[in-house]
Amino acid sequence: MSTTQHSGEPLVHAVNVTKSFHGNQVLKGIDMDVHPGEVVCLLGPSGSGKTTFLRCINQLESIDGGRIWVDGDLMGYADRGGTLHHLTDKQIAAQRREIGMVFQRFNLFPHKTALENIMEAPIQVKGEKKAAVRERALALLEQVGLKDKPSAYPAQLSGGQQQRVAIARALAMEPKLMLFDEPTSALDPELVGEVLKVMRQLAKDGMTMIVVTHEMSFAREVADRVVFMDGGVVVEQGPPNEVISNPQHARTKSFLSRMRQEEQEHVEHLLEAAQRKEPDLLADVEGGQTAAGPRD
Ligand SMILES: Nc1ncnc2c1ncn2[C@@H]1O[C@H](COP(=O)(O)OP(=O)(O)OP(=O)(O)O)[C@@H](O)[C@H]1O
Ligand SMILES: [Mg+2]
């Protein structure tokens, strides 16, 4: 458990969450509390259930057992005298609106500009006034470092820029909670740093975040707590310094050593690119702004 003491109610309170697909149990009783302003990095090998758990939190998947509360709301169900009743699609959509999600693939509307992509949901879903939304969307573009790109279409933006628009789009709904599912893993290595920088700032500004990531230096620097999942259970969790630097379980140790090897390959890639006289990248490497960050 985190050594941080939290007084108030958790923002996310998940209790014994189970989920199967066609008889294959993917989540085997996940308990997780995330407190307001806390950043939790979720690590684990492929197939361990990380994406499924995030999708259960925002009700893109229904759960088979257990309960998930977000800000006191029981997700997906109404509890009437101890009996659970499914919420309607409309009620679930209302709950989901409070939660921002950023995926590996950004899925921006290709025929809309960056600004229009960000403005879409607050206007269409929340029915907000266009002028106010526009102002907020412009501020968000600035926040993600794309002040000069309001009129750019996704195809005119790099992967890193598109992902930053996707983050701004999620923030435009003024979510209570942000879920990130490997937001940098589809990016060219040299574009990872700019996205992590935006996420780092968001964390500093106090956003509550659950981040599935393989970016160990990001987890080490930004996470209040690291949760290692394997085979649909939480194997180990705690402050990044404990879990990443001194894992207790064999499964955590072997996963982390694989990650370190990947990080090493990533650094080598960046150095090679830098040697091909790409000074921006060299600055990244030297400034520790990349996915790999400073070495141990
Ligand atoms: N819609 C689905 N239908 C059937 N099986 C699914 C579905 N979604 C996920 N699974 C299975 O559930 C297991 C966990 O998948 P999940 O995507 O949650 O893992 P993950 O930890 O996010 O992995 P990765 O690191 O590869 O993204 C996998 O065995 C996967 O094949
Ligand atoms: Mg996944």
Residues 163-179 have pLDDT tens digits of 999 999 999 999 999 99
Do the beta carbons of residue 140 and residue 118 sit within 8 Å? yes
Q: What are phi and psi of 258, to 5 degrees?
A: -65, -40
Residue 214, token pair as written in the block: 């393989």
The ligand minimizing its distance to the Cα of 60 is 1
Q: Which ligand 1 atom minimizes the distance to the CA of 51?
A: 22
Question: 131: CA distance to ligand 1 center in Å?
Answer: 41
Q: Which ligand 1 atom minimizes the distance to the CA of 44?
A: 21
Rounded CA separation 44/233 (Å): 10
Architecture field, domain 12-273: 3-Layer(aba) Sandwich (3.40)
3-state DSSP assignment of residue 167: helix
Residue 12's closest CA among 42, 51, 40? Answer: 40
CB of residue 55 inside a 6 A radius of ligand 1: no
Residue of minimum CA distance from atom 5 in ligand 1: 21
CB of residue 47 inside a 6 A radius of ligand 1: yes
Question: What's at 2, amino acid-wise?
Answer: S
Rounded CA separation 287/20 (Å): 44
Residue of minimum CA distance from atom 2 in ligand 1: 21
Which positions ≥6 away from 90 have C-beta within 8 Å? none
Per-residue pLDDT of the chain (296 residues; tens, 9 = 90+): 344 556 689 999 999 999 999 999 999 999 999 999 999 999 999 999 999 999 999 999 999 999 999 999 999 999 888 888 899 999 999 999 999 999 998 789 999 999 999 999 999 999 999 999 999 999 999 999 999 999 999 999 999 999 999 999 999 999 999 999 999 999 988 899 999 999 999 999 999 999 999 989 899 999 999 999 999 999 999 999 999 999 999 999 999 998 888 878 878 887 887 787 666 655 655 554 444 443 33
Residue 287, token pair as written in the block: 């400034």
The ligand minimizing its distance to the Cα of 181 is 2
Question: 12: CA distance to ligand 1 center in Å?
Answer: 22
- The pairing of beta strand 99-102 with beta strand 177-181: parallel
Question: 29: CA distance to ligand 1 center in Å?
Answer: 16
Residue of minimum CA distance from atom 18 in ligand 1: 49
Sequence ranges of the domains in the chain:
12-273
Residue 98, token pair as written in the block: 């409070």
What are the tens digits of pLDDT across the range 191-225?
999 999 999 999 999 999 999 999 898 999 999 99
CB of residue 46 inside a 6 A radius of ligand 1: yes
What are the distances in angstroms from CA 176 to CA 19, 69, 100, 286? Answer: 24, 13, 8, 35
